[in-house]
Amino acid sequence: MSNQWPLWEIFIRSKQGLDHKHAGSLHAADAEMAIENARDVYTRRMEGVSIWVVESKHIHASNPDEAASFYDPANDKVYRHPTFYDLPDELKHM
């Protein structure tokens, strides 16, 4: 499938949201077309007020095979959570 258009990752910011969230991916010939395609595919039901597109090849991901060495060591480091402070009784909702 060498004549397939490149893949793009689409990020949409909703009206209430502060951040762009990954919405999905689609094919497009260039960035301009990717934005228009994203508009038609992902904002038809008023989901967004801003669109970012990134060609998928520019995204570098961690390797799932390394998950054990990457993430497991954090498991027993409870002291990294701010749960060891004595809070005054007057302080609610923490």
Instruction: Please say whether the beta carbons of 31 and 53 come within 8 A.
Output: yes
Residue placing its CB nearer to other proteins in the complex, 13 or 42 = 42
Whether 56 and 22 have beta carbons less than 8 Å apart is answered as no
The answer to whether the CB of 58 falls within 8 A of the CB of 11 is: no
* Contact between 29 and other proteins per CB under 8 A: yes
Q: How far apart are the first and last CA of the chain?
A: 54
- Least gap, CB of 33 to other proteins (angstroms): 7
Q: Which of 36, 59, 67, 70 binds other proteins (CB under 8 A)?
A: 36
CB atoms < 10 A from the CB of 50, how many?
A: 12
The yes or no reply on residue 49 touching other proteins (CB under 8 A) is no
Least Å distance between CB 75 and other proteins? 42
**Binding-site ranges for other proteins (CB under 8 A):** 5, 26-29, 32-33, 36-37, 40-41, 44
